[in-house]
Structure formats: C-alpha cells, structure tokens
Structure 1
Amino acid sequence: GDASDALATALLLPLLPTAARGEVLALMENSGLQPAVTPGVSLDASGERQPRIVYSNGCSRVTIGGTSAQLASPSAPELVPHITFVEIPSQLRTLESMLRDFTLGEHLLLLGNQGTGKNKLADKLLMTLRREREYVQLHRDTTVTQLTLSPSLEGGRVVWVDSPLVRALLHGRVLVVDEADKAPPEVVCVLKGLLEDGELLLGDGRRFVTARSPLWHGADTPDATAEGVRRVHTDFRVIALANRPGYPFLGADVYAELGDAFATHVCSNPDATSERALLRAYAPRVEER
C-alpha cells in the first residue's frame, strides 16, 4: 500500500545493492507490507500494474492510472516539449507517480543510471500536461551567475539577461535541471535556498520569494516592489535529473543534499515486459520467439 511505497522511496530501494535490497524486501514482507494496486489500472499476466494515459472532458483533463490533472493553456506553446515516447508499462507507472506528486505542488527529482529515460519521462510529463519548459544543464564549472543572470553588453551598456531559471520564476514554467549531481556546492546552495527557504537574491537587486518566505505576504506592497521583491509565480516547478549516488558516478549526492525539497522518483531499467513492449513498438513486423 502507500506505506510500502513510501518506505521504498525513502530508502531508494531500487538503487540499493542486491543483498541489501533483498533483506529490506524480506523485512517488508514479514511486516505485511505489500505493493499497492492503484484503482483504475489493469494487470497483465505477471500481475504488474498497467496504467494508461486517457484524455477526457474535451481533452481538458488527463488521467494516468488513478491520477487525474487539468491540462494547462500555454501562452508560449513552442516551449512545450514534443517528443516520441513509447508507452511501456514500467515508465507509465513512473509517470503516474510523477503526475500524482506534480499535481500536489511538489518539485520532482528523478534519480537513476544513465540511459534509463529520465529526460524522456520529464518531457513526456510536460507534454502530457501542456506545460512550458525551461531547460538548464549543469556541470562542474557552472557558476551562480550562469544559473541566475548573465551580464551582456548591448549598445555600449551592460544589461542583465534572465536565465532559464529566472524566466521560469517569472512566467510559472517548469525548470528542468539536467545533470543536477554535477552542480558545484555554491550552485547547490542557491537551489537549496530557493526551494527550501523560498528566497533567491539576484545580482541586479531583485529578490524572488515563494510562500515559504516570510516576505511573501508583503511582496505585493509598493515598498517591497521598490526594494526589488518579487513573488515567484505559483505555477513554478523544478524537475531535477541526476545520476544515482555512488560509483561509477562521482558527482554530488543530490538526494542527501536536496532530497527534502523534492518528491523523489527512481528511474530503473525496464523490466522484461516493458522491454518487449518497446521492441514491439520499434519492430512490429518482427516475429516474437
């Protein structure tokens, strides 16, 4: 049920070593914790949950498994991702849990090895919800200035150019932070301050605040506006993508440093049923054996 799902998420169960994972599963079974079966999904022959993506109300709502959400009306539709996505069972189950947390207002953290579809899942969620995306890829040399504002020389004057993060804050878009585990400590501190404390101070004097900040309630007063205080758009969200902690990935442990600010989802390699579905989609005329 929900308790077993919450425990598996908190322990990052799919990322544990095989022996440790087996012990945890045995303890969960002895404690009577069983995997949940969400209403509204079907089961295949192996008993795995099979959610489906269904649109309703004139394509104004979408349902994945047992979770529904209202579709957005993007003001900049060119920023909504459009990708090719094969709806395999394992990734649809992850999408369902991502949608559930997203509709609750959570920021999302996708953890997994390279090649497990983290970018695809993030883009598919935004495409399904018709949400506008801003994108930033971090690396070891990323600076706070690059994350927030960049100075530019225009007409002999230095002007500040908003980064994808600032545009997402202003317009209520979803910021996809790729390679989050590569971020240097000072960049992690900026993200942590924004997501946990609800404040972000920019180099041009503007200060963005969320409902977590004590400045939120007075942010719309003339005095606060004159001081550069701005409210973050209530639709602003972050989807961070990161490799799992530990060898062979030598980046930061994003889950340990920022996990409290996110709803975490582990992206694993597809199971056998999902792999067959993926191969069948790409090679429908090949006979199965």
Structure 2
Amino acid sequence: MLTIGCHLSSSKGYLAMGKEAVSIGANTFQFFTRNPRGSKAKAIDEADVAAFLSYSKEHGIERILAHAPYTLNPCSKDAHTREFAWMTMADDLKRMEYTPGNCYNFHPGSHTGQGAEEGIRLISEMLNEILKPEQTTTVLLETMAGKGTEVGRSFEELAAILERVELKDHMGVCLDTCHVYDAGYDIVDHLDDVLEGFDRVVGLSKLKAVHLNDSKNPFESHKDRHEKIGEGSLGLAAFERIVTHPALAGLPFYLETPNELDGYAKEIALLRGFVK
C-alpha cells in the first residue's frame, strides 16, 4: 500500500493533523515543528500526543515527517545564525521523542560565500554536537535545487556530510523531486540512472522519504518553485514512474504542492491510482 500524505498545519495539534490526514485519504503527513519563518514552538500537549498515538494506530498512520523551520542555517558565516540553528534543532529533536521512531527533515543550509567544503564541515559539526545515541528520530538531509550558495545541491555534497557524521544510523536523506530536477538530475527521462547514481554515491538504504512536487521551472534551472502534480515541467507520467519504482517501494511520499486540503485529496487519489 502506498504511504502518502501532504504537509499539514501543526497549529491545532497532532490529533487534528491525524484526523485531517485520514479525511483526505492520507496515511502519513508532514508538519513544521514551529513557525517556518520564526523561532517560536508551542509547548507539547502530552494529552494531545497520547490521543494522536492511539488514533494513528487505529487508522494506520505511519512514519510522520517533521520539517525544520526554513530559518535554520547551520553553515552560515554568521556565528549567531549557526547558534540559532544548533539550539533550534536540538530542541526539536527533544520534542520529537514524544512521537518516537519518526523522521525530522531539514535543508542543509547556505554557506554564504564560505564555499561548499566549509559548509559541509559546519553542518556535520552541528550534527555531531546534537545527535544522541539514545534518540529514536532519524534526521534527514533534504536534496536541494542549488540556488545561490545552497549546500546539498548534489548527491556528493550530501554524501560528504553523512560521511562526517559519527552517529550514521541516525541519519538519512529526503529526496525532493522538484529540487533534484531543478538541480540537474533528470528524473523525467532517466529515473533509473538517477537512482543508480544515488545508490552509488549515497546508498539507497539512506533514502528514507520522498517529497513529491512538480516544478514551475525547467530542467536544471537551480530554482525552487513547486507546482501541482502533473502541471509543471516534470509532468504526470514522471510521477507514475516515481511512485511505482521498485527502488522506492515502501518509502513514504509527502506532497508539498501549492494546494488546499481538497487539492491534496485529489492528488493523493490520483497517485494511489497508479499503484496496483
């Protein structure tokens, strides 16, 4: 069975997100741990979490994905910005243990002119500081489109970060279809080759989640503008190949397309129809 969901607002709590997911035919979902453009996080409501964990078992919701705020930049040349990233992620990972065994995704960051090698060093340094042996959460590096000074624009850059992390079992990758296409990986006409390349450089065992997004921009544009499924430069046929590819079987898929709930429901139904 296809594990698929979309990005939901966490403002109403875990149980509300679970019920929204079920209402649109989803069996997973993604959410921001806090304001995506800020630093504030709501206090954990333990009663709400307990109710959600019970509800999720009853309705087959598995492997939810938390997304770090966009303001995190662990490889900035500004020390205060790096410190904010470290403190925020450390706090988020503590909060994630209320819903154990799930994943936490973040954008690796922008090196702000220091060079990719220095950015890689700073990101891995942060991860080595905050990852704990006892945590149950897997931290995912997201593949990036390569705009500006983004780190993570290539599989090689992601592999370099992972190689430097000491607690490797706590790390993985989230592949974003819009981002990798914009970065120059042709998942439309050469999906097999891209996945073989990922396996060779990073390892498919490290691939833990997929963001499903079409792109408003052409191939290798190095931009990052998501489009609804089948309405962008990737096209609908590409998504049928992605959700049915044997190498991706069993992975959770998360929609981040420009939709409201009814639009997500239609996309989920559409993509489920491809899986026999």
TM-score (norm: length of structure 2): 0.33
The answer to which structure has the higher strand fraction is 1
Q: Say which one has the larger Rg.
A: 1
Higher relative contact order (CA 8 A, sep 6+): 1
TM-score (norm: length of structure 1): 0.32
